[in-house]
Amino acid sequence: MIYLDHNATSPVRKEVVEQIIPYFCEFSGNPSSVHTPGRTAQKGLDEARRKVARLVDVHESQVIFTSGGTEANNLALMGVASRFNFNGHIITSAIEHPSVLQVCELLESRGVKVTRLGVNDQGLVDLESFKVAITPETFLVSIMHANNETGVVQPVAQIANICSEKDILFHSDSVQSIAKLPVTLAKTGADLISLSAHKFGGPKGVGALIVDNHLKLPGLLLGGSQERGRRAGTENIPSIVGFGVAADLLLQEQKDYSEYMLGLRNQLEEKLSKLVPELIIFGNSSERLVNTTAVGIAGLDGETLVMHMDMAGFAISAGSACGSGRTNASHVLTAMGYDGAIGRSAVRISLGWDTKASDIDKFINVFSRTVKKLQQMSAPLTMAV
């Protein structure tokens, strides 16, 4: 199987697996315990916190370990909204991950006003509409750094500047960008960013919310003083240790891998566009993550294409969501204006550090042949009379 779905999740790196195993057996203490096994677990936790902090260039006290990006997003929005007594106004975008969008819906039901900014056909939030949406009641802006489906990178530094001028908190979901762009809290200019380990070779079920030091965030969970009271519950030490190892490797290798993936992706897009001239690359005029290509071919069904590619030994994903037996365009593509035959045909190819040039060559070959075959199958039959 050739795996080209790194935006869904990436394989756990060998170095990560090796280093977390001892934390299941030899070093399995509870970091809250004062005895030697407890202190050993605490050491592993501290070390991982240092590594994650170094990756995003913050102080260790700014790292709150969570169960992943979903929880980090929930904690950011719910935590900040509770600081403002669920009063006021939040600005987000229509293309956020559901872990932002659904929390916004909940907050709305509790009385918080929510503006969801649209995007243009290249997947970009319009800064002018953003400025217009700000009101004296706006206390939080949550705009993702890069979109998981299209890879389109948002102008977060400019959004952050506007927020800081107006004294508004800025949260940015950086779950996808962290693996492919150098992301630090200062570079995004955000007060809070969400991370997830499984998008860059760490284990699933672990992530972090990085918070600016001036922000006192109440936890969502009650019943423990872990993570300085901001996330109660015994820490998932093996996974957190693995997150730290993956963060360390990412910091060392990010530049090389980013250049490598960009080379492969350019090759993929150039060759595919020649072989399948009707191919649309979503957001191709915008800055995009170096590993992500989301494409559509009018008239084809994305899910069917994904299944045929799976049978041929390639893992990619459909950029669409299934609803009541009918495949619809995703909320992201709909926001970009593709809700018809093109939106339903979308598939995403996302590369990783383990993708080889020969994988891309094989993929191009099989993908273009599969598209042709599906197009022939769906072509209307002409009857001879």
- Going by their DSSP bridges, the two strands 63-66 and 280-281 should be labelled as unpaired
In a 3-state reduction of DSSP, which class is residue 137?
A: coil
- Pick the catalytic residue from 25, 104, 163, 322: 322
**Binding range to ligand PLP, per CB under 6 A, among 31-39, 63-71, 131-139, 181-189:** 63-71
**Residue 69 engages ligand PLP in binding (rule: CB under 6 A):** yes
**Binding range to ligand PLP, per CB under 6 A, among 68-76, 126-134, 341-349, 377-385:** 68-76
Q: Give the footprint of ligand PLP on residues 146-185 (CB under 6 A).
A: 148, 173, 175-176
CB of 40 or CB of 66, closer to ligand PLP = 66
Whole-angstrom distance, CA of residue 42 vs CA of residue 36: 10
* Shortest distance in whole angstroms from residue 385 CB to ligand PLP: 53
Whole-angstrom distance, CA of residue 223 vs CA of residue 220: 10
- The full length of the chain comes to 385
As given in the structure block, the two tokens for residue 39 are 């202190």
**322 catalytically annotated:** yes
* Shortest distance in whole angstroms from residue 173 CB to ligand PLP: 5
**Binding range to ligand PLP, per CB under 6 A, among 67-75, 213-221, 298-306, 308-316:** 67-75
* Shortest distance in whole angstroms from residue 223 CB to ligand PLP: 22
* Shortest distance in whole angstroms from residue 17 CB to ligand PLP: 18
**Residue 283 engages ligand PLP in binding (rule: CB under 6 A):** no
Whole-angstrom distance, CA of residue 316 vs CA of residue 294: 10
- Map tokens 């050739």 to a residue: 2
**Residue 320 engages ligand PLP in binding (rule: CB under 6 A):** no
Q: Give the footprint of ligand PLP on residues 70-99 (CB under 6 A).
A: 70, 73, 97, 99
Nearest-5° Cα angle at 115, 177 to 231: 55
Whole-angstrom distance, CA of residue 321 vs CA of residue 326: 9
Sketch the per residue contact string, 204 through 233, with ligand PLP: x for CB under 6 A, - otherwise: ---x--------------------------
Residue ranges of alpha helices (H) inside the chain are: 14-20, 36-55, 69-83, 98-109, 127-133, 156-165, 185-188, 237-275, 302-311, 331-335, 357-378
The site for ligand PLP, by CB under 6 A, has a size of 14
* Shortest distance in whole angstroms from residue 350 CB to ligand PLP: 10
Contact between 184 and 57 under an 8 Å Cβ cutoff? The reply is: yes
Contact between 224 and 22 under an 8 Å Cβ cutoff? The reply is: no
Contact between 330 and 7 under an 8 Å Cβ cutoff? The reply is: no
Contact between 233 and 223 under an 8 Å Cβ cutoff? The reply is: yes
Radius of gyration for the chain, computed over Cα atoms and rounded to the nearest angstrom: 22
Which of residues 19, 196, 345, 370 is near ligand PLP by CB under 6 A? 196
Looking at the annotation, which residues are catalytic?
322
Q: Could you list the residues that contact ligand PLP (CB under 6 A)? A: 68-70, 73, 97, 99, 144, 148, 173, 175-176, 196, 198, 207
